Amino acid sequence: MQKDKAYIAYLAGRARLNDLAAFEKLVQHFGPRLFAHAYRLLGHREEARDAAQEAWVEITRGLPKLRDDSAFMAWAYRITSRRCARQIDRNVKARAFEAEMPEAAFEEAGSVRAAIARLKPVQAATIRLFYLEEMSLREVALAMDVPTGTVKSRLSQARTDLKSHLKGYENAKH
């Protein structure tokens, strides 16, 4: 994982210096991840695609000002999170926002995915960034644009909610 982070920092530095090939590699690597992050937050494919594209525009414009190349991943997630927050604000004003939650629970990993899907969008995103993307608390805080303490409390509440959801699933099986 450290090797990947060093490579990403290298690519970010090269891209910041207008190396188009390095920027394209960053897009190839992070494009699907940022889209998935946006989708988790928004719950709607087209809105997520738009938010991710808008985030890439902002990333492109802001890259020359990035001071710490090793912070690229968290910085890109934060920009995407902000774009999603703006979209959610627009949705709330236009209509009541309802996150799409899959009802079907699958065995083992499927039940965990279903339990995560039942979490509040910010809790689910926090869980995924911390555990699946293997970000540190500081990186998650930067990506979500919240204090580290907020990340800790969201993780704690999400773990509690996950235990509750998974117990309900286990009880339903028996």
Q: Considering the entire predicted model, what is its pTM?
A: 0.58
Q: Using 50, 70 and 90 to split pLDDT, how confident is the model at 107?
A: low
Could you read off the pLDDT of 21-56 as tens digits, one per residue? Answer: 999 999 999 999 999 999 988 888 999 999 999 999
* Structural domains of the chain, ranges and CATH numbers in brackets: 1-99 (1.10.1740.10), 101-174 (1.10.10.10)
Task: Classify residue 174 as exposed, middle or buried by CB count within 10 Å of its CB (0-12, 13-18, 19+).
Answer: exposed
Q: What is the mean pLDDT of residues 133-160?
A: 89
